[in-house]
Amino acid sequence: MPGHRIGYVRVSSLDQNPTRQLEAIPVDRVFTDQASGKDVQRPQLDQLLAFVREGDTVVVHSMDRLARNLDDLRKLVQNFTRQGVRIEFVKEHLTFTGEDSPMAQLMLSVMGAFAEFERALIRERQREGITLAKQRGVYRGRHKSLRPDQVAELRHRAQAGEKKTQLARAFGISRETVYQYLREES
């Protein structure tokens, strides 16, 4: 009995359209992440990895949708194929089964390297854009998470001995942000 065809879709921002990636491609189920491809820490990817079984086929629009890091891409493909799961990349017209030719492995490496390179270029352009915006005086960085009165309360509660994890939850910020506000006091 053939396994399921399972789609994986990743978009980086809210304005991207996830439905176009696997449009007109027959799949039984789709897992969709709205997250950066910089690493594999994505909730729907984790669910996909837990869901697939031997004989299934994972369908992804393109390699850069699965990972923008060559090492992560290779590990994911190997993880799938070791489980007996095929992985198809629609845009590249490549399928990996675990019994792949040296040419297929080369294509995986080359295409994965291009995805990683593209991510590095995006980050470089972003840094350049921020630098130029700062020079023009139009970039002021992120808005502070807490108002001054909240910062005062946070510091008071920390001095009273309240745990940093409790403070982070109470103010809706990360523990690292709690520590940053407490360091600013010094």
Mind listing the pLDDT tens digit for each residue in 18-42? 888 998 899 999 999 988 888 889 9
Residues 40 and 111 in one domain: yes
Residues 157 and 110 in one domain: no
pLDDT tens for residues 121-143? 988 998 999 889 888 888 877 77
Catalytically annotated residue among 12, 36, 62, 145: 12
- End of a domain among 68, 94, 115? 115
Residues 10 and 81 in one domain: yes
Residues 51 and 111 in one domain: yes
Name the domain count of the chain. 2
Q: Would residue 90 count as lying in a domain?
A: yes
Residues 99 and 21 in one domain: yes
Answer whether residue 85 shows pLDDT above 90. Answer: yes
Mean per-residue pLDDT for 49-56?
96
Residues 78 and 24 in one domain: yes
What is the distance, to the nearest Å, from the Cα of residue 182 to the centroid of all Cα atoms in its chain?
Answer: 30
Q: Which of 18, 132, 113 is nearest to 121 (CA)?
A: 113
Which residues have C-beta within 8 Å of that of residue 38, sequence separation ≥ 6? 68, 69, 119
Mean per-residue pLDDT for 47-73?
94
- Provide the domain limits for residue 156: 148-185
Q: Would residue 132 count as lying in a domain?
A: no
pLDDT tens for residues 105-117? 888 888 888 888 9
Residue 185: the pLDDT is 66
Q: Would residue 139 count as lying in a domain?
A: no
d(CA 120, CA 112): 13
Answer whether residue 145 shows pLDDT above 60. Answer: yes
Mean per-residue pLDDT for 41-56?
95
- End of a domain among 93, 115, 137? 115
Answer whether residue 169 shows pLDDT above 60. Answer: yes
Q: Would residue 22 count as lying in a domain?
A: yes
Q: Would residue 108 count as lying in a domain?
A: yes
In this prediction the pTM is 0.67
Answer whether residue 186 shows pLDDT above 60. Answer: no
Q: Would residue 136 count as lying in a domain?
A: no
- End of a domain among 115, 130, 164? 115
Residue 95: the pLDDT is 94
Would you call 145 a catalytic residue per the annotation?
no
